[in-house]
């Protein structure tokens, strides 16, 4: 029997991202199970968004002709009709990302967009942009689900929970555990949808403690045995840049020291920071790599659609982990499917021996009433100690933004495992604050 599902309206915030065409490919791939009556593309940077306008319109006209397509820079138009708002904004665009990565390297510190000093600076920009966006949405639409993928998700999630504690339709999400599950599925040669995870941690700072299938069979020991003797690679390694392959490769190195659980790939920045700095090019970072590869390729493809009446032989970009997760989560919530994902939620006793107000990342289900996570239980001292230090960094970062407090920002960076040295923390904070004046400023309290 064919089940005809209700069609919904979604808005994509940050539609000028070079990831958007592949997200549109995911919308097309899921069109039978997640039909849409309207898709609104919104960005404050119309120059970037307009580069993809013709291509996206042609793809959706060919594949989903009954779906209304709107491109806008008007907030009211963007949010009024939305059942779900999918947020992938980057406050400061690629220019500020480049500074986030390069400035820390000048001080011998990890230059990464979500971790360490760069993640701090990006987080301080993202908090302000996200708070403004939530106010804008709620001014015209009280019921829309706000599904936020804006980084650094841990800092943004904690800030939004503090500022909007009663907004039950505001979720913060990350695609990295989902992406790793796809890689595990390839290693095990099983469909990804047949796998489930037991996982705990903070965003970009967590561990898989079991991987099992829907029949209840654990594959965890098989995976660990494989990774003991084989290099860990993303499922689409042949399409990934060299720096991403290095990110996965250090999972093997981590397991040489701590083989109990499988780590999130981002833990490399906190366990091997000196090694990563030594291998980094201070004048050419991932921001440059992305601009010269994915962004260049996407914009060149989209440029070929200008002036065309049909898509013709132009490729429809598909297979995006990021895009697939966004659509699967919106589908699970709006159609009340209660499918399982690794998601961020307030702790509230899920990990009893960890701060209750923290935003933790655990396996859980998503339906029309929001997230429901299984209690994980107490965590062991090693992981508890690591997480408490990271959570203190996140909390002090959020408080420094709310209070405009320089001292708390300095404390946050000194606590961060990728920094530690207060002299370096102060030097990099001052340098980052100088270039971020249009977005955030701090004062001595």
| Bond prior to 152 in cis (omega within 30° of 0) | yes
Q: Which of 8, 266, 269, 270 is catalytic?
A: 266
What does the alpha-carbon distance between residue 162 and residue 358 come to, in Å, rounded to a whole number? 10
Q: Which of 175, 178, 184, 391 is catalytic?
A: 175
Query: Phi then psi for 131, rounded to 5 degrees?
Result: -60, -45
Verify whether residue 143 is a known catalytic residue: no
What does the alpha-carbon distance between residue 424 and residue 107 come to, in Å, rounded to a whole number? 7
3-state secondary structure of 5: coil
Write the CA distances from 408 to 65, 158, 246, 426, integer angstroms.
52, 16, 33, 11
Verify whether residue 66 is a known catalytic residue: no
Straight-line distance from the first to the last Cα atom of the chain, in angstroms, rounded to the nearest whole number:
66
Structure token digits, residue 440: 């955030």
Nearest to 417 by CA among 236, 202, 220, 247: 202
Nearest to 211 by CA among 400, 349, 342, 299: 342
Question: Is residue 146 a contact partner of residue 172, using CB atoms and an 8 Å limit?
Answer: no
Question: In sequence order, which residues have a C-beta less than 8 Å from that of residue 123 and are 6 or more positions away?
Answer: 152, 155, 156, 397, 401
Q: Which residues are catalytic?
A: 175, 266
């Amino acid at each position: 029997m064919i089940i005809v599902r209700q069609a919904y309206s979604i808005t994509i915030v940050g539609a000028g991202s070079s990831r958007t065409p592949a997200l549109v490919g995911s919308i097309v791939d899921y069109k039978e199970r997640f039909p849409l009556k309207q898709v609104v593309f919104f960005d404050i940077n119309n120059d970037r968004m307009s580069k993809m306008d013709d291509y996206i319109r042609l793809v959706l006209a060919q594949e989903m002709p009954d779906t209304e397509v709107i491109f806008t820079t008007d907030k009211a138009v963007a949010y009024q009709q939305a059942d779900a708002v999918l947020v992938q904004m980057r406050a400061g665009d690629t220019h500020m990302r480049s500074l986030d990565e390069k400035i820390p390297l000048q001080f011998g510190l990890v230059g990464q967009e979500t971790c360490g000093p760069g993640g701090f600076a990006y987080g301080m920009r993202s908090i302000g942009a996200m708070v403004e966006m939530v106010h804008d949405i709620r001014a015209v639409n009280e019921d829309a689900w706000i599904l936020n993928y804006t980084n650094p998700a841990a800092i943004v999630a904690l800030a939004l929970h503090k500022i909007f504690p009663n907004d039950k339709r505001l979720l913060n999400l990350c695609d990295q555990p989902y992406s790793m599950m796809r890689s595990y599925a390839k290693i095990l040669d099983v469909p990804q949808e047949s796998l489930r995870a037991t996982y705990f941690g903070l965003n970009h700072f967590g561990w898989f403690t079991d991987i099992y299938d829907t029949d209840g069979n654990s594959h965890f020991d098989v995976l660990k045995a494989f990774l003991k003797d084989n290099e860990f690679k993303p499922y689409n390694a042949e399409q990934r840049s060299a720096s991403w392959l290095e990110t996965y490769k250090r999972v093997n190195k981590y397991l040489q020291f701590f083989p109990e659980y499988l780590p999130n790939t981002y833990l490399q920045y906190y366990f091997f920071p000196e090694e990563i700095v030594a291998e980094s090019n201070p004048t050419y970072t991932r921001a440059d790599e992305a601009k010269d590869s994915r962004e260049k390729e996407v914009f060149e493809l989209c440029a070929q659609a200008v002036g065309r009446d049909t898509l013709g032989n132009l490729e429809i970009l598909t297979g995006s982990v990021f895009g697939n997760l966004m659509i699967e989560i919106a589908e699970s919530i709006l159609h009340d499917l209660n499918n399982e994902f690794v998601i961020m939620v307030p702790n509230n006793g899920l990990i009893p021996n960890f701060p209750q107000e923290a935003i933790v990342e655990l396996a859980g289900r998503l339906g029309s009433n929001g997230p429901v996570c299984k209690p994980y239980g107490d965590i062991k001292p090693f992981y508890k100690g690591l997480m408490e230090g990271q959570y203190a960094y996140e909390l002090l970062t959020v408080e420094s933004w709310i209070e405009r407090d320089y001292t708390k920002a300095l404390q946050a960076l000194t606590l961060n495992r990728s920094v530690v040295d207060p002299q370096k923390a102060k030097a990099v904070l001052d340098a980052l604050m100088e270039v971020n004046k249009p977005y955030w400023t701090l004062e001595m309290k």
